[in-house]
Amino acid sequence: MILLAADIGGTNSRLQLVDKNETAQQVVYEEDYASAEYASFYDVLQQFRTESGNNRPIDAACIAVAGPVKALAGQLQASVTNLPWRITEKELLNTLQTSAVKLINDFSAVCYGLTELIPSDIEILQAGISATSQQPSAVVIGAGTGLGVAHKIYIHDEYHVLPTESGHAGFTPESALQTQLLTCLQSQQSHVSLESVLSGRGFQLLYDFLKQTLDIDESAAIKARFAQTDPAQVITSAGLDKTDLLCEQALNLFVDIYGAAAGNLALNHYPVDEVYIAGGIAPKIRSALHSERFLAAFNNKGLMKANLQALPIKLVTQDRVGLLGALAVARQLLC
């Protein structure tokens, strides 16, 4: 049987064809596409199917989308938050000529993908106290092009995944500096979302804020690199290497906000057994997330500090976890 899995984000669209039988599965074709270069997901899908050379019918497909998935007029549909793309299950059924299609949120796919990971795909940020349950509940947060959040719980002999749009909730400051940041941003926009600061574009925003707020001169070399390279890459690289003080401070502020947001998420779903940090940015700044700075921000929750210190925090380094989760859902459609 041929399965199609896709993980559609604002930056990358990842697609995979898998040939599955009763005992094994094999990847037939897999490719990544720059999402912004296409007018619609269906253009990506057409190119992928042409390039794969697969002539066999698709038996089941799961498409994970970075945006809310909801039922309208009796059918599931999704809009990619950071792209003008609209995807519906009905159109997918017609396009793929199959009766088994599932459209899910991208961080739902991440949750399903957690059980597909191997030990080398995970790094421990905080050991905490391991869950006694064989099916631990978990919350997942991940910064990338946007900010994804989801919750996984085990009920009635199976996992249920609850997607959210928590990334678009308001940014809540946890320090005097962050309060200054919020005030600054509120003078520029009516709603300051958590995603606006905790995402790839957030690095430039934090850098510019600190440039105005702190008495630190901007490096001419860093400014020149911004014109040639993605500012987020420049800031994280110089921040991790500690070769530029302003970049280092921007990275520190990002880590502070990330840790606090992950702690808030754990409290919003407490009691919970595990916390996962996923998304495209985390593996690139893994040394910063392994710092005491991240854990201090995560655990700084007053009367609940001891509870949060007991939670295991795990960093997902496998950047294809969403694709793995989409494939797992596609397999379930065959049951």
Domain extents for the chain?
2-104+320-332, 118-317
The pLDDT tens digits of the residues spanning 160-179 come to: 999 999 999 999 999 999 99
Measured distance CA(16)–CA(30) in Å, rounded:
4
Q: How confident is the model at residue 260 (pLDDT cuts 50, 70, 90)?
A: very high
The pLDDT tens digits of the residues spanning 29-46 come to: 999 999 999 999 999 999
Phi-psi region of 242 (alpha: psi -120 to 50; beta: other; left: phi over 0): left
Q: How is domain 2-104+320-332 classified at the architecture level of CATH? A: 2-Layer Sandwich (3.30)
What are the φ/ψ torsions at residue 44 (nearest 5 degrees)?
-65, -45
User: 118-317 has which CATH code?
Assistant: 3.40.367.20
The pLDDT tens digits of the residues spanning 41-96 come to: 999 999 999 999 998 999 999 999 999 999 887 788 998 988 999 999 999 999 99
Q: Do domains 2-104+320-332 and 118-317 have the same CATH topology?
A: no
| pLDDT value of position 156 | 87
